[in-house]
Amino acid sequence: MSGDLTPPAAVQLCYENVNRSCVKAPYSPGPRLLLYLVFGSGAALAVFGNLLVMISILHFKQLHSPANFLIASLACADFLVGTTVMPFSMVRSVESCWYFGDSFCKLHTCFDGCFCYCSIFHLCFISMDRYIAVTDPLVYPARVTLSVSGMCIAFSWLLAVVYSFSVFYTGASEAGLEELVSALTCVGGCQMAVNQNWVLVNFLLFFIPMLVMITVYSKIFLIAKQQARKIESLNNKTTKTSGSYKDRVARRERKAAITLGVAVIAFLISWLPYYIDSIIDAFLGFITPTYVYEILIWIAYYSSALNPLIYAFFYPWFRKAVKLTVTGRVFRGNSSTINLFPE
């Protein structure tokens, strides 16, 4: 009988003494600190890593090319994920409560979707840029100009911003789910419900560029393999100076394509589980447990921190640019003309 009389453990709320407050399910101090370290380090890497990418490309004149400006714009989207999305999601994930108000909850959701779509549109244009560069590297500079790159950047940002804010900020994504949203809404929560129609549109906006990228990079690697064989056979014979120059250009473009191909694969692996789960959730009545959702969304967020690591691994010019930036040499006169591609 004494066991039956034991009082239940006190329920913690996100906001004490507030009607309809969400229930708080905090972690114990050890796991809580560990999660803050893991999530915080991801946000810091996304911010400072992508900031270094932008500084490197914009400061050093040798890096002023259409392809690199696309990469700088992609880094800007990832930088904004690290500043406007990840820190607030970190608090929500660890504390299981949203302390930043309903208005910013909507903005946060819009930023989340906007920067994701902006990234995938950029990666799609970058894949097409690499295809032209690899298939015909000598004609590439005339076909892909700064104005073409600028139009691709403008399209990527404009479409991502208009779509995300028109669907998420206006509440169009919740049409038909009013009863469910009302039942689940509590003070201290920030989870946006998306109906089946918009979930399919969201997935298509992810899947179609993904399909384009996979197709383009498959062709790139096949062409690169053929070019490598031709260069190997030519190297066994006497080659002209023009031929050796073409070979060097082809090698450089192939290496850039491989590097960006790795970045694309990392992005797709990071975001694909989240989009698959969102479809399953919408058609099976939102059955995904909160902790599974948090794991999937953080795997996706970490894609914003991966690109600087990929560039650092594959690009010697990026490592040199980072060293010059960190040591303060970029503040010296004529630092923008430093050669980052020593022969």
- pLDDT tens per residue, range 255-292: 677 777 788 888 889 999 999 999 988 888 788 888 89
More confident residue, 141 or 226: 141
pLDDT band at 7 (very low <50, low <70, confident <90, very high): very low
pLDDT digits over 23-46, tens only?
A: 888 788 899 999 999 999 999 999
Contact 331, 279 (CB under 8 A): no
Mean pLDDT of 287-313: 89
φ and ψ at residue 21, rounded to 5 degrees? -75, 145
**Whole-prediction pTM value?**
0.88
289: left (phi over 0), alpha (psi -120 to 50) or beta: beta
In angstroms, rounded to a whole number, what is the distance separating the alpha carbons of residues 93 and 296?
A: 12
pLDDT digits over 86-121, tens only?
A: 999 999 999 999 999 889 999 999 999 999 999 999
Note the pLDDT of residue 314.
80
Q: What is the mean pLDDT of the chain?
A: 86
* CATH class of residue range 29-329: mainly alpha
Residue 239 pLDDT greater than 60, yes or no: no
